[in-house]
Structure 1
Amino acid sequence: MRNSVIGSIILHVLVSAAALLWLLWYFIPVGPVLKGMVTVLVVALAAWLTWKSCRRQDSGAEKGAQSFAELPPPDTQGPIVLVCGDGLDALFQDQTLRKTAQGCWLRVGDVARLPEVVRQILAQQPRQTGQLSVMYICLPDQHRDEAVLRESLKVLRQQIRQTSTLTGFTLPVVLSCKLSGPVTPWVVVRGDKPVVSPADEAPVAFVDWQQTGENLLTLPLLSQAYAFIRATLLDELEKADRLNPPVHPFAVALRTGAASGEDASVWSHWLYRRTCLQLPPASERQEMNPRFPDAVLPLLSPFASPVQGGQRTRCVLLLLWLCALAALGFSALNNAALIRQVSADLQRWAAIPMTHYAPKAHSLADLKQDALLLERWQRQGEPLKLSLGYYPGQRLWLVLQQAVDTYVPEPPPKPVPVPKIVRLDSMSLFDSGKAALKDGSTKVLVNALVGIKAKPGWLIVVSGHTDNTGSALLNQTLSLQRAGSVRDWMRDTGDVPESCFAVQGYGDSRPIASNDTPDGRAHNRRVEISLVPQADACRLPDIKTASSELSGVSTQEMEK
């Protein structure tokens, strides 16, 4: 197999695999694990298709080498005309290929072999696909039944359809007819401008040719010949068919002077019915007429050029179109998913009351993440998966910013009030070693305890303390008795229920100064009074117990 064929196969497979992977990695919204698995599958499939196509091409090349002894050289320029139809033995004279400066003629034989020949050329020399064309030779003098002649043309239409499937385009078809009658050069009709190609002379316009010599005498016969071709051959080729499309010939080449094959041929009947003429046997001058209509080759040259194509290229182009359409669809889906995600975050934000600070903060974080993502895409460009659809980034970003701007942060917590402690010197209230209030202590108590008032939900804690002089048991008992004396005075003086008080004696266990010095021991001999929040404390008549939520109220608020 030629290197160009291998390169063509590899190129087609690589382009197909690249298109699929591009669609997979940039547009299809699946996870990276699944993308990796599909990538491995695509690479393995591409390798298998390459190996299988190479083997198929090798097999086709071997069959082509067995079927064809000679093919046009790879560097052949100009049209390559595949010749099929009637009288090929006399036309090619034991040859398969006839090369000229303007192109070449390749013998096919039976028209049913036309797809096989095209397939073999595709396998061995695919670049010549664009140079191919078909010439069907019809000899009406060798046909006695018009129905059989039309059936052969119907077969030609079927084979042209098959070759179109192989190559990806319809090959140009040239219809060549040789009819009995006076010898004339080839007349090539393309469109409405017939051209005459005399032997060894430059082609001339039909109007100019008929005005020279005795050529005007052959005009009626040529007119009948073309009328026969148009009414019989072209009518069958261009007929609409449910299975096979019509074939519109690229050009028609005709000449008269061929030997009569049958006395009662289709052409003889046609000519006799319309003109009552019976043609004599052909003269020997017809051997001087060129066998091939070489004037057709220059007309085919603009439409013949080496290409890389065929069914494989058509499949790759179809795959590229499908990938492009799928990319557009997935891009639209990805944009719709982005809109749904941002909309869900906005709906969750709107559903949370402003007083629910913790859930509101979590929802705010999601909105900020969405806004940051859209801002980055605005600066750096949106990803490819969103770029082919209607990307609504700017519109979504504005809505997100408006929602973020409405956020009200949680107010800072109120400071927890520190209970007010009133510290009284024990020596100003009691005599040494005594627990009874001494005379003159009332004024000290009134001045010191003016801010201590009972309130539901608050407990008045009275604790006594001593220095370390004496035994610990005596000190603890003395401190408890002194605290009780102060409690009794506050209860009796302020008419405060006893449930509002708690009496504690700590002795010398909680010094606030060193007991090694007289000044330190004086500081340690004290009675402390403080207000402490407690739910069931201080039950006053007709007053409900304050809840523990009042625990944050400061002592200064109670003094009001």
Structure 2
Amino acid sequence: MRGLTQLILLLLAMCLSLWLVLGFWPLGFSSRVGISLLVVILSGMKGYLLWRKHNRNALSQGQITDSTLPPEDFQGAVVLVCGDNDALFSASVPFRETRQGWYLPVETPDQLPLLAQHLAAERPALIAQISLLMAIVPEQHQDRDDFKQSLRTWHRAIAQCKGWLAGLPPVWVSTWVSPPSAPLAEPERWYTVTYVQKGVQVYEAGSGVIPLGQWSQYQNAGNSQERLSAAFWIESLHSWLKVYVQSILTQCQGEVTALNPCAWVHCLTPVTGSHNNLWQSHITRVTSLTPVVTALQDLLPLPDVLLSYQPRRHGVSRLMQTWQMAGILCGIFLLLALLASFINNQRLIQSVGDHLALYHRLTGMPPEPKVHARQQLRADARLLDNWLRSGAPMRLSLGLYQGMRLIAPLEAAINSWAPPPPPPPVINKIIQGPKTIRLDSLSLFDVGKYVLKTGSGKVLINALVGIKGKPGWLIVIAGHTDDTGDEKSNQILSLRRAESVRDWMRDTGDIPESCFAVQGYGEIRPIATNDTPEGRTANRRVEISLVPQANACQAAAIPHSSND
């Protein structure tokens, strides 16, 4: 189940990565395809490694069954019993459950990291409740070097559990030795040394916690001699542990740090031992007495009284770990997507800003570059308008879209300029026909105006007798002004006056528009000096000429031939 959860999280991470690359990150098409393929390949390799690791762990943990593990909602302490645990567990039941704890035996040092890894995978909520108990039965060891080597091996195995158990869990040492004399029918009693309390404390059912010195000197007890002997036995055991155990665990072994147990627990109970063991040698050397080797009939008692004093933390279940990891992946994706959306919006603002700057920098002379720039602004405006109607693309969204505030500057810039109208046809050479009629502008228009005055029709009718559209002839109407005012205004005024005359002739004489050509010369073709009023009056004129030109006035030929 743990391997399946990791594969699901890997698939989620791959999908979010592809979504980020293809939907948000500002990359080119080839870059997106390349990175997407790389993400898929790396995800496939990681999935293969997870699958192999899962199978390898399944083989190495084949002897660990979930039936021996505590349930995931177990509220008590989970104790991994290392060292001399043969006398603590039976062959039929590979674990022991008490009111306050769940004890699991660890057969060999090599099995301890595997069991820790299996617990982390299958019972992650119980990680904070795990502690390591180093069980020591001194009467079962005969060789000092073998015993020290065994402790060093367990020390290294305990240090390897850090990565699986969220750091080094609480480690405590429990010792069982036979009492100095035949035991009486007394309640179970434990002698402890912890970092919280000074000296040896005695835990006895029904009596609470009493310091060893006060307990051994209790006068009202009927077994005061046995208490003094037990106190002496415990002190001897402390000296033995200091030489054989503490000196090994509290030393560094290369990269393996020193191990300082949080508690030392001792129990005086009949223990099955071997002859000439380390404990006998120590007691004989200290007291010249030889402990009696007894045979144990039942399992050794468990130090359950100390479990309530173990540090407790709140663990995280496997489901919660999965949701936390999924939340972390989604959070990373959201942060990167927001960053990509911000970059995309900044690029949009910069692109439109560059188009606007180029448009405003162009003067319009010649008009072609500014026309092209104006077309680009129109394309930008259409794109932003489409996004306004149908919604911005995903790569610009997530609440960071900036395109709406760009629409108004674009429309203002587009409407601020219009391309000039195409220039009228240029007549390079005018061949004067038989008639050129010259009309005074003041007889037709008011000063500075180009709208025909009331009554100007009589002047035009009298002056234009004989002027009519003929195939192959072009009626050229040219407007002229004096030099009063600026040159550009005079040119526009002369053109508009020529157009007014053309419109009157076209509408009155039913002459097709293709028979006309208009030109406004302004002040550039004077016929008299502009220094006198008479000269300026002569220069303000409208001239009408018939010019031969092929394919001119073709529409006029149709009604003419029908009259014939």
TM-score (ref. length: structure 1): 0.56
The root-mean-square deviation of aligned C-alpha atoms, in Å, is 6.1
Residue in structure 1 matching 2:303, options 293, 317, 329: 293
Instruction: State the AA in 2 paired with 1:160.
Output: I
Q: Using the alignment, how far apart are the partners of 1:156 and 1:251 within structure 2? A: 17
Matches within 5 A, 1:124-143: 132-140=130-138
Amino acid aligned to 2:160: Q
Determine whether 1:16 maps to 2:13. yes
Contact 1:374–1:393 (CA<8 Å) still a contact in 2? no
1:109 pairs, out of 107, 118, 127, with 107
How far does residue 192 in structure 1 lie from its aligned partner after superposition?
A: 1.1
In the alignment, which residue of structure 2 is the partner of 1:173?
171
CA deviation string 1:509-551 (max 9, x = no partner): xxxxxxxxxxx99979999896699xxxxxxxxxxxxxxxx99
| Worse overlay, 333-342 or 101-110 | 333-342
Question: Aligned to 1:193, which of 192, 197, 205?
Answer: 197
CA distance in 1, matches of 2:210, 2:390: 67
Tell me the residue number matched to 1:554: 520
- The letter of the residue matching 2:421 is P
More displaced, 150-159 or 95-104? 150-159
Q: State the shift of 1:85 in Å.
A: 0.7
Paired residues of 2:109 and 2:153 also in contact (CA < 8 A): yes
- In the alignment, the residues of structure 2 paired with residue 375 and residue 529 of structure 1 have an alpha-carbon distance, to the nearest angstrom, of 49
Question: What CA distance in whole angstroms lies between the structure 1 residues aligned with 2:20 and 2:284?
Answer: 65
Letter in 2 for 1:554: G
Matched, 1:461 2:461: no
Once the 2 structures are TM-superposed, how far is the Cα of residue 292 of structure 1 from its aligned partner?
1.4
Q: CA deviation at 1:23?
A: 3.4
Indicate how the Cα distance of structure 1 residues 198 and 354 shifts in structure 2: closer, same or farther if over 3 A, else same: same
Tell me if 1:413 matches 2:413: no
Deviation at 1:97, TM superposition (A): 1.6
Give distance in 2, aligned partners of 1:228 and 1:346.
90
Of stretches 404-413 and 520-529 in structure 1, the one that deviates more from structure 2 is 520-529
Shift of 1:164: 3.5
Shift of 1:554: 1.7
Cα distance in 2 for residues equivalent to 1:522 and 1:378: 60
From the superposition, tell whether residues 27 and 89 of structure 1 become closer, same or farther in structure 2 (CA, over 3 Å): same
Aligned twin of 1:449: none
Partners of 2:468 and 2:64 lie apart in 1 by 126
Report the Cα distance in structure 2 between the residues aligned to 1:348 and 1:271, rounded to whole angstroms: 103
User: Relative to structure 1, is the Cα distance of residues 304 and 351 closer, same or farther in structure 2, using a 3 angstrom cutoff?
Assistant: closer
Letter in 2 for 1:107: P
Asked if 1:360 corresponds to 2:365, the answer is no
Compare 112-121 and 233-242 and name the one that shifted more.
Answer: 233-242
Over residues 328-365 of structure 1, what are the superposed CA-to-partner deviations in whole Å (9 max), with x where a residue is unaligned?
Answer: 77567656655764565466457645545443354456
Which amino acid in the other structure matches residue 174 of structure 1?
W
Task: Compute the displacement of 1:106 (Å).
Answer: 1.8
Within a 5 Å distance, the mapping from 1:200-279 to structure 2 comes to 200-201=205-206, 203-204=208-209, 206=211, 212=218, 213=221, 214=224, 215=227, 222=234, 225-226=237-238, 229=241, 233=245, 236-237=248-249, 239=251, 243-256=255-268, 265=278, 277=287
Contact in 1 for aligned 2:80/2:131 (Cα 8 Å): yes
What's the offset of the Cα at 1:293? 0.9
Residue 307 of structure 1: aligned partner: 317
When residues 178 and 11 of structure 1 are mapped into structure 2, their CA distance, relative to the original with a 3 A threshold, is same
Structure 2 partner of 1:467: none
Deviation, 1:107, is: 1.8
Q: Contact conserved, 1:224 with 1:271, CA < 8 A, in 2? A: no
Evaluate the alpha carbon distance shift between residue 58 and residue 382 of structure 1 in structure 2; reply closer, same or farther with a 3 A threshold: same
Where in structure 2 are there 5+ consecutive unaligned residues?
439-464, 479-494, 496-516, 527-538, 540-564
Q: Which amino acid aligns with 2:308?
A: P
Preserved CA contact (<8 Å) 2:88 2:299: no
| Deviation of the 1:84 alpha carbon | 1.8
TM superposition shift of 1:22: 4.7
Partner in structure 2 of residue 159 of structure 1: 157
- Secondary structure of 2:115's aligned partner: helix
Mapping of 1:331-480 within 5 angstroms?
Answer: 334=344, 337=347, 341=351, 344-345=354-355, 348-349=358-359, 352-353=362-363, 355=365, 357-363=367-373, 401=409, 409-410=417-418, 412-413=420-421, 416=424, 458-462=429-433
The CA deviation at 1:297 is: 3.4
**Residues 79 and 133, structure 1, Cα contact 8 Å, conserved in 2:** yes
Maintained 8 Å contact 1:371/1:397: no
**One-letter amino acid matched to 1:409:** W
Number of paired residues? 445
Residue number among 5, 25, 29 corresponding to 2:26 in the alignment: 29
Q: What secondary structure, in the 3-state scheme, does the structure 2 residue paired with 1:165 have?
A: coil
Task: Give the TM-score taking structure 2 as reference length.
Answer: 0.55
Contact 2:132-2:170 at 8 Å conserved across structures: yes
Change (3 A) 1:409 1:17: same
Tell me which moved more, 22-31 or 218-227.
218-227
One-letter amino acid of the counterpart of residue 16, structure 1: A
1:193 maps to amino acid: Q
Inter-CA distance 69–222: structure 2 relative to 1 (3 Å threshold): same
Q: 2: CA distance between counterparts of 1:353 and 1:525?
A: 44
Q: Compared with structure 1, are the counterparts of its residues 284 and 267 closer, same or farther at alpha carbon in structure 2 (3 Å cutoff)?
A: closer
Task: Describe the SS at the equivalent of 1:244.
Answer: coil
Structure with the greater alpha carbon radius of gyration: 1
Please, which runs of 5 or more residues in structure 1 have no aligned partner? 420-456, 463-482, 491-519, 534-549
Q: Which amino acid aligns with 2:520?
A: S
- Kept in 2: contact 1:57–1:123 (CA 8 A): no
Deviation at 1:244, TM superposition (A): 3.1
Give me the whole-angstrom Cα distance separating, in 2, the residues matched to 1:328 and 1:224: 69
* 8 A Cα contact 2:77 2:100, kept in partner: yes
Query: Do the aligned residues in 1 keep the contact of 2:176 with 2:266 (CA within 8 Å)?
Result: yes
Decide whether aligned partners of structure 1 residues 220 and 348 sit closer, same or farther in structure 2, where only a CA change above 3 A counts: farther
Residues 136 and 175 in structure 2, CA contact (< 8 A), matched pair in contact too: yes
Secondary structure (helix, strand or coil) at the match of 1:28 reads: coil
Amino acid of the structure 2 residue aligned with 1:413: P
Structure 1 match to 2:95: 97
